[in-house]
Amino acid sequence: MEAAKIPVAQVAPVEIGYGKPPQRPEGFASETAAITGKNKATINRAIRRANEVCQEARDLIRGTGLDTGAYLDRLALARTTWPIRLAVFLPYQNDEGPQKRA
């Protein structure tokens, strides 16, 4: 007895395969960079700073001369509660405390 042969035709071309990997959705940084016109690395750096430096430390230095990306990067290297302590004690260049920018 012979097996029945069923004709099988491919109805649509293969969308995903060895030569054509699946499309990945654009990430947040890529979309934001496209909308704002800033570099993707700049967006990722801002996200990292926001995630690694606590809100309290950012509030303490906002508007002072230390409100810079370089200072936020240094705070991000200090873990746990050190960012708050550094934000409070390092800015004191005299007895008046952090100076707000005009």
pLDDT per residue as tens digits for the range 17-76:
666 666 777 788 999 999 999 999 999 999 998 888 888 888 888 998 889 999 888 888
What per-residue confidence (pLDDT) applies to 56? 86
Cα-based angle 98, 55, 44 (whole degrees, multiple of 5): 110
List of residues 6+ apart from 87 with CB closer than 8 A: 56, 57, 58, 60, 61, 66, 75
pLDDT of the residue at 84: 63
Helix (H, G, I), strand (E, B) or coil at 100: strand
pLDDT number for residue 100: 55
Who wins on pLDDT, 39 or 8?
A: 39
Q: How many CB atoms lie within 10 A of CB 66?
A: 19
What are the extents of the domains in the chain?
Answer: 28-89
User: Which amino acid, one-letter code, is at 80?
Assistant: T
The conformation of residue 64, written as its DSSP 8-state character, comes to B
